[in-house]
């Protein structure tokens, strides 16, 4: 009998692509706000409602739920939503496991590389480095603390926290948003363009989750970011190169981004490198470690 994997954040790109990778080896279920498929189970985090049938014989939970960081300006209400969508959803799962007296083999949670702080430095951050103190860092810290509770309360054999870089996909996210301007020949780096931009191909981030799921020795926090580092300026130029488009426009000034996005602009204007050495030392191999190859795969299909 196949082990059962329950995935939250069912409507997201990673959940959908990941399920395709693991459905041959596992019975996959989704927690979702609206049932569309036979393996969908409804929940409403705000109301504290969850279909407990989703937990029957469950072995693993992959927790991907969480409001999109860059979708809206960070009003005070939005900030609360960014935190609660991650923390309250985890707590609802935790409470359900306790109620049903279930112990998982693994609880694998999404996390973010923003945990080290929204800043541009020459550091290459490793998993045990000091955490940041800005808003995004706090979101990730709370997120990881919510995941760690599953281990603290003996509800799982292990917890894995996947500190995710910018996920590259032609379907959604940062790359898709940048494509129209580059295709028109008016793509521009943001701010100085010197800020680092940790990234990972969508196929690789799904493979990281699959690797974590299938390897019981994988435990704790891992940076999920390509081993090849790049700046925002170089990233923009590589997209243009792959699309055979010019990059003639001047950089978008920082003050313009701050007018448009408010505090969120900091996440676009700052960025440091992170090390993927830890996940590599566990035996994981990136399929797309090179930025140009990754972009060619996504944009030249």
pLDDT of 260: 67
CA–CA distance, 224 with 278 (Å, rounded to integer): 9
132 with 85: CB under 8 angstroms? no
CA–CA distance, 30 with 206 (Å, rounded to integer): 16
pLDDT of 216: 96
pLDDT tens-digit series, residues 145-175: 999 999 999 999 999 999 999 999 988 887 8
What residue ranges in 14-96 does DSSP mark as E strands? 26-32, 40-44, 49-50, 58-63
105 with 3: CB under 8 angstroms? yes
pLDDT of 191: 79
Q: Which residues of the chain have pLDDT under 70?
A: 248-249, 253, 255, 257, 259-261, 264-265, 269, 301
- Which residue, among 164, 29, 50, 147, has the nearest Cα to 96 in the 3D structure? 50
CA–CA distance, 289 with 199 (Å, rounded to integer): 10
Q: pTM (2 decimals)?
A: 0.93
CA–CA distance, 218 with 284 (Å, rounded to integer): 10
pLDDT tens-digit series, residues 286-295: 999 999 999 9
DSSP 87: H
pLDDT of 69: 85
pLDDT of 175: 84
Residues for the chain: how many in total?
301
Query: Which residue is listed with tokens 């790109």?
Result: 13
pLDDT of 67: 86
pLDDT of 269: 67
CA–CA distance, 130 with 119 (Å, rounded to integer): 13
Are β-strands 58-63 and 49-50 bridged in parallel, bridged antiparallel, or unpaired?
unpaired
Q: Report how far apart, in Å, the C-alpha atoms of 195 and of each of 199, 227, 238, 292 are.
A: 13, 16, 15, 19
What sign results for the dihedral spanned by CA atoms 137, 166, 260, 258?
positive
Query: Which residue is listed with tokens 């704790």?
Result: 220
- Which residue, among 48, 123, 110, 45, has the nearest Cα to 84 in the 3D structure? 45
pLDDT of 62: 98
Supply angle C-alpha 231, 233, 237, rounded to 5: 115
Quick one: tokens of 79? 């900030």
> What residues contact 16, with CB distance under 8 A and at least 6 apart?
10
Which CATH superfamily groups domain 3-167+199-225?
A: NAD(P)-binding Rossmann-like Domain (3.40.50.720)
Residue 113: strand, helix, or coil? helix
Residue 223: strand, helix, or coil? strand
């Amino acid at each position: 009998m196949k082990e059962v994997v329950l995935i939250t954040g069912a409507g997201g790109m990673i959940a959908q692509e990941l399920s395709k990778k693991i459905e041959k080896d596992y019975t996959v279920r989704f927690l979702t706000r609206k049932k569309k498929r036979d393996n969908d189970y409804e929940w409403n985090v705000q109301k504290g409602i969850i279909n407990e049938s989703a937990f029957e014989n469950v072995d693993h939970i992959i927790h991907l739920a969480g409001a999109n960081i860059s979708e809206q300006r960070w009003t005070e209400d939005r900030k609360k939503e960014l935190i609660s969508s991650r923390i309250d959803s985890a707590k609802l799962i935790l409470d359900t496991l306790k109620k049903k007296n279930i112990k998982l083999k693994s609880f694998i949670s999404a996390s973010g590389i923003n945990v080290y702080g929204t800043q541009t430095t020459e550091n290459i951050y490793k998993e045990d480095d000091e955490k940041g103190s800005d808003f995004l860092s706090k979101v990730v810290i709370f997120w990881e603390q919510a995941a760690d509770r599953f281990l603290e309360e003996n509800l799982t054999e292990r917890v894995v926290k996947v500190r995710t870089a910018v996920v590259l996909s032609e379907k959604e996210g940062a790359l898709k948003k940048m494509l129209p301007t580059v295709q028109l020949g008016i793509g521009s780096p943001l701010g100085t363009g010197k800020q680092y931009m940790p990234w990972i191909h969508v196929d690789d981030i799904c493979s990281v989750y699959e690797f974590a799921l299938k390897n019981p020795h994988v435990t704790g926090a891992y940076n999920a970011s390509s081993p090849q580092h790049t700046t925002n300026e170089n990233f923009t130029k590589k997209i243009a190169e792959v699309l055979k488009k010019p990059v003639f426009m001047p950089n978008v000034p920082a003050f313009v981004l701050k007018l448009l996005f408010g505090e969120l602009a900091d996440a676009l204007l700052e960025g440091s490198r992170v090390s993927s050495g830890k996940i590599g030392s566990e035996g994981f191999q990136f399929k797309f470690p090179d930025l140009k190859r990754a972009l060619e795969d996504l944009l030249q299909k």
